[in-house]
Structure 1
Amino acid sequence: MPLTADQVRRLVEPVVAAQGFDLEDVHLTHSAGRTDLSIVVDRDGGGELDVLAGLSRQLSDILDQAPETADAAYVLEVTSPGVDRPLTLPRHWRRAAGRKVTVDFADADNAAAHLRGRVGAVDDDAVEIVVNNRGRLSSTRVVLTSVTNAVVGVDFSRPSVAELELCGLDADEIARRRAAS
């Protein structure tokens, strides 16, 4: 019987959590007697490549020793979410603070609405989207349950300090981001 995502999830989730990560997704593709296994993890502050490589080795050891995977030939990839990952949970929004997003949602009148801006303050119920309209900054509160689609976009612009401050980033994070752009 082919390996299932639920089996993998049960095996790896305790190790992923112990390393301070959230298990975001498990993808399995079965083809020609081989299984491609992609485990998507994330945490506040992201995951550096060397940390992900170490986690990959740990997960490989767990999977190699588990009876459920003893006969399974698989190729393992441990990765962080891609830029096109939908923002569906409050933690996804928190981790995207200050990043440019495109958000489709239902407004207060239940009409379809669309915003492009940066992720600002987030709580369990709503997110502030900071919009820069030719230098005029504004913020719109969007209730998370009204969001129908939201993704982080590729951003080639250099946001102003004021824009990043309105997103709630501290001075150190603003300096780090501005130095990187």
Structure 2
Amino acid sequence: MPMPTEERLSQLVAGLVERRGFDLEGVEISTAGKHAEAQARVKVIVDSDDGSDLDTIAELSKELSERLDEADDFGETEYLLEVTTPGIDRPLTVDRHWHRARGRKVRISLRPGAPTPDSGGSDTFDARVGELTDGTVALVLGGKRNPHRVSVALADIAEAVVQVDFSPPGARELELAGGVAPGRPQPGEEEEVLETEALPESVTASDSPTEGIVE
């Protein structure tokens, strides 16, 4: 029996994810093993304005596992379900990503021909995310030594990817960004989290909806 597509799984889980107060950021399917012994790994990526905790993720994981079992799209193929929040290196592609990334450091790549925010600057640079208003995002450049705020149209940005902060930003730098979005960790805490291998928050569940393992 062929496995369901990622589009099909997105349709199956989207309603439950939304009712739990999350946005569905993606669904990924991969396989391990060969032929009859193959096992599917289903990764459901969710996020919300208020962040998330492992208890809530675990409850959602159980509900999603039950939903997938009821749909029976995997047939006899065993699957491992993982419900997780976006990783640190996630790209910012829609407005809600920018709002939730406020205070984070990002690597910006501008579209060809777009004006650089600093005279003579590069079209790829690191900045701290500020407020997003009417299609324009405030970015803080200069780091701790020379923090200053500029404005860049989202239409001029080809790619923006969140970066790991291995040390806290300067107070003025964070002030210019408007602080950290509610429910999000303070910049500079990633190093400690990475050492405990707890990033991002995730829960895995076996093909039985009653079993759940917090990673």
Q: TM-score, normalised by structure 1?
A: 0.86
- Counterpart secondary structure, 1:68: coil
1:142 to 2:152 alignment:
yes
Q: Amino acid of the residue matched to residue 140 of structure 2? A: V
Q: For 1:100 and 1:23, locate their aligned partners in 2 and report how far apart those are by CA, in whole Å.
A: 23
Q: For 1:68 and 1:158, locate their aligned partners in 2 and report how far apart those are by CA, in whole Å.
A: 46
**Deviation at 1:77?**
0.4
The one of 59, 70, 74 equivalent to 1:54 is 59
Q: For 2:148 and 2:187, locate their aligned partners in 1 and report how far apart those are by CA, in whole Å.
A: 21
Q: Tell me if structure 1 keeps the 8 A contact 2:46–2:86.
A: yes
Q: For 1:113 and 1:61, locate their aligned partners in 2 and report how far apart those are by CA, in whole Å.
A: 47
For CA contacts below 8 A with separation 6 or more, give which structure has more relative contact order: 2
Q: Tell me if structure 2 keeps the 8 A contact 1:39–1:79.
A: yes
Residue 43 of structure 2 is matched in structure 1 by 38
Q: For 1:177 and 1:130, locate their aligned partners in 2 and report how far apart those are by CA, in whole Å.
A: 16
Change (3 A) 1:78 1:14: same
Q: For 1:134 and 1:54, locate their aligned partners in 2 and report how far apart those are by CA, in whole Å.
A: 41
1:108 to 2:139 alignment:
no
Q: Say what the alpha-carbon RMSD is for the aligned residues.
A: 2.6
Q: Tell me if structure 2 keeps the 8 A contact 1:90–1:124.
A: no
Q: Deviations over 1:72-111 (max 9, x none)?
A: 42110000011111111111111111011110113238x9
Q: Tell me if structure 2 keeps the 8 A contact 1:131–1:139.
A: yes
Q: Which has the higher strand share?
A: 1
Residue 73 of structure 2 is matched in structure 1 by 68
Q: Amino acid of the residue matched to residue 10 of structure 1? A: Q
Q: Deviations over 1:102-141 (max 9, x none)?
A: 10113238x9712212100113512111113552221121
Q: For 1:134 and 1:68, locate their aligned partners in 2 and report how far apart those are by CA, in whole Å.
A: 52
1:92 to 2:97 alignment:
yes
Change (3 A) 1:69 1:131: same
Q: Mind listing any 5+ residue stretches in structure 2 that lack a counterpart?
A: 191-215
Q: Which has the higher helix share?
A: 1
Q: Amino acid of the residue matched to residue 3 of structure 1? A: P
Q: Which runs of 4+ in 1 moved over 6 A?
A: none
Residue 7 of structure 1 is matched in structure 2 by 8
- Counterpart secondary structure, 1:81: coil
Residue 186 of structure 2 is matched in structure 1 by 177
Change (3 A) 1:178 1:81: closer
Aligned residues: 177
Q: Tell me if structure 1 keeps the 8 A contact 2:166–2:189.
A: no
